[in-house]
Amino acid sequence: MAATRAAIALDEVGGVAFDMDGVVTDTAPVHAAAWKEALDPFLRDYARSAGERIPPFDVHGDYLRYLDGRTRAEGARAFLASRGMASAEGTDRQAPDAAAVALVCERKDAAFLDRVRRFGVAGFASTVALVGELRRAGAATALVSASRNCTAVMEAAGLADLFGVRVDGGDAARLHLPGKPDPALFVEAARRMRVPVARTAVVEDAVAGVEAGARGGFALVIGVDRTGQERELYRHGAHVVVSDLSQVTVVGRSA
């Protein structure tokens, strides 16, 4: 069961890295809708040319299983492979080529930014409150996102100044950092906060992000279950799972 309360103990944790989508900003539904807008026409065209029936994109199951927490390209490849567009032993199917991946990524990016511009982005008040509490208590905080649209999203949410440290998709490309579930993005955030990984906490809502925190050996991995993935978050390494960050308190010498 999801915990009713969780604590960040500042005698053990000196810095906290927060994922953006689904933890700081309520953008997961926007991403899912943009992916559907990009992928469904592509799937229809592919099905027509191949003479096959291919299920459309599911904004809940497919998004959580293949796309949530991953870079656009990694997510697109994983999803297209799930629809049979990948090589497999005993078949003659071809892996999704770079042009196909680039096309759906470009369409998704345009659809996402259009939705952000038209409708804005909401931030989670409980997350903003927790970040403020941590900063007042002397803990370092960082924002981590695989998205290259991180700045645009935070500005749309009115939260551009919430974090002094930020690691996003642009940094990942520039530094050649692999995406989640590899812990590289969180390790870079800890480095920029000047806090050892063993004294850094990770707050994530995506299975891939929780797995990244567990693989990296971070001091505390807090899963945020907003989509009914509690069991999966625990299975992939969350130390504790809450439904909202209002359930997390800050305790210890500096609090």
Q: What is the DSSP letter of 100?
A: H
Q: What are phi and psi of 9, to 5 degrees?
A: -90, 115
Give the whole-angstrom CA distance, residue 80 versus residue 104: 10
Mapped onto helix, strand or coil, the DSSP state of residue 142 is strand
Cβ proximity of 64 and 22 under 8 Å: no
DSSP 55-106: PPPPTTHHIIIIITTS-HHHHHHHHHHHTT-S--TT--PPPPPHHHHHHHHH
- Give me the residue label for tokens 């305790």: 251
Name the active-site residue from 21, 68, 171, 205: 21
AA identity, residue 111: A
23: tokens are 């933890």
Active site residue 21: yes
Q: In sequence order, what are the residues at sequence separation of 6 or more whose Cβ sits closer than 8 angstroms to the Cβ of residue 97? A: none
CA angle 99, 114, 204 (to 5 degrees): 80
Name the active-site residue from 19, 62, 168, 225: 19
Catalytic residues: 19, 21
